[in-house]
Amino acid sequence: MDKKIVLIGAGSAAFGPPTFVDLNLSKVLAGSTITLVDIDTEKLQMVYEVLSEDNKKIGNKFNIECTPNREKALKGADFVINSTEHGDRFELRWQDNTIPRKHGSTERMAENGGPGGFFHSARQIPEIIKIAKDVARICPDAFFINYSNPMSRICLALKRVVPNLKMFGLCHQIELLVPHHLSKIIKKEMKDVQIITGGLNHFAFLLGLKDLNTGDNLLPVFNANCQKYFQGKWDRFHYADLTFEIYKRFGWFPYVGDNHICEYLQFGSHYTTAQDLTDWITRMELGKKAINFQLKWHYKKLKKGKYPKKGMLMREFSGERAIPIIEAIIEDSNSYEIAVNIPNDGIIENLPNDLIIECSGIVSKEGIRGVNLGNIPKNIAALLRIEASIQDLCVEAIMRESKDLAIDCLAMDVNCGSFEMAEAIFHEMCELQREYLPDFK
């Protein structure tokens, strides 16, 4: 296969090697060129040398190259996978998480929503738009796959600024439910079940379950068994108080977990604690350090001529969906994806068309076509429209570099609620993160 796949942000040990694991398992993409790109040249070189060594062990299945020069890398690209973070991910993440609470916010996760999510968006969106514009100019037929957060807001900005970009976003949150729990709840093999999802990234719901053999609706089975199944299995980082309160009150299961959905709800702080989310971010940070340690360990072994026989390649599929979707596009397979992030464009009729939604989709050579959901339940749509309005204003404030719109956006956020608080958060965060933010005026 003579395809070119560009990995932007490949210096991340959490991104480059796992993506290469999935490539290694691909029968369709053998012979492709894999171009690694990162502005951190030291880490990029480490990942390149380790993956090149692993590539030798699998018979030089791919042509691997690396460069910090994005323009050079994008020439002739068929697929571009973005997983970039502007600035030190966790140093800034802790500021996003703690500064708003210092001023009275009920901020929890601070990754995609809340006042912290606004500043994460403000750091990320301008930089990723630059990448997308380069893709549109240099390789306009390439598919652009975004992994970076805040997913919905980044993709919404890309849709508005680079409208012809063949773009979609991917997130693995559905894996919290599938395959770990769902098959046990409904007592079916997952290969026999079609799962239908809908909502926003990190704020989405299980909307349908269909038995592919009989056509039966399996949602009643799920609803009858779910609460009993999860007794004794509550996890404060995933399915716990908030998930089941929403499920009880609204009647639809939010598969994304407490630690994500708490960002978007006025009552989120009633069912999660700041300590829970502090512990979760700490766990994520320690995980990143462990992965980076593993990369450095393999690199040192390589330099000493003692590289392990098995290398860094895990034997199992990583669970990310970029490579299977690339295969489906190439083969025009019309395969089914449980959860993708794409422009609404009428898929959910009672949400704004100008919105990036998370939904199920069909993959073909044209890209991803969302499964039409019509009108989703009104109570869920009402929740989602609140966040949709905040996302709309967030992107507008960042693109216009408007201080006034930024403060308006912070004030209306469900985790804030006053202009005084919004102004205090805005001024302190701008002072701390000035070098990474737009020039708000």
Residues with a known catalytic role: 172
Neighbours of 365 (CB within 10 A): 11
Query: For residue 208, how far is the Cα from the chain centroid?
Result: 22
The dihedrals phi and psi of 162, each to the nearest 5 degrees, come to -125, 70
Length of the chain in residues, anyone? 441
Please give the helix or strand (H or E) that residue 95 lies within, else none. Answer: helix 89-102
142 closest CA partner among 323, 16, 326: 326
Instruction: List Cβ neighbours of 348 (8 Å cut-off, separation of 6 or more).
Output: 198, 357, 359, 373, 374, 375, 376, 381
| Helical residues (DSSP H) of 139-218, grouped into ranges | 151-161, 182-186
Please report, as a single letter, which amino acid is at residue 284: M
| Burial of 96 from C-beta contacts in 10 A (0-12 / 13-18 / 19+) | buried
| Residue 190 DSSP symbol | G
Please report, as a single letter, which amino acid is at residue 164: N
First to last CA, the chain: 50
* 3-state SS assignment for residue 361: strand
Query: For residue 63, how far is the Cα from the chain centroid?
Result: 27
CB-CB contact of 388 with 351 (8 Å): yes
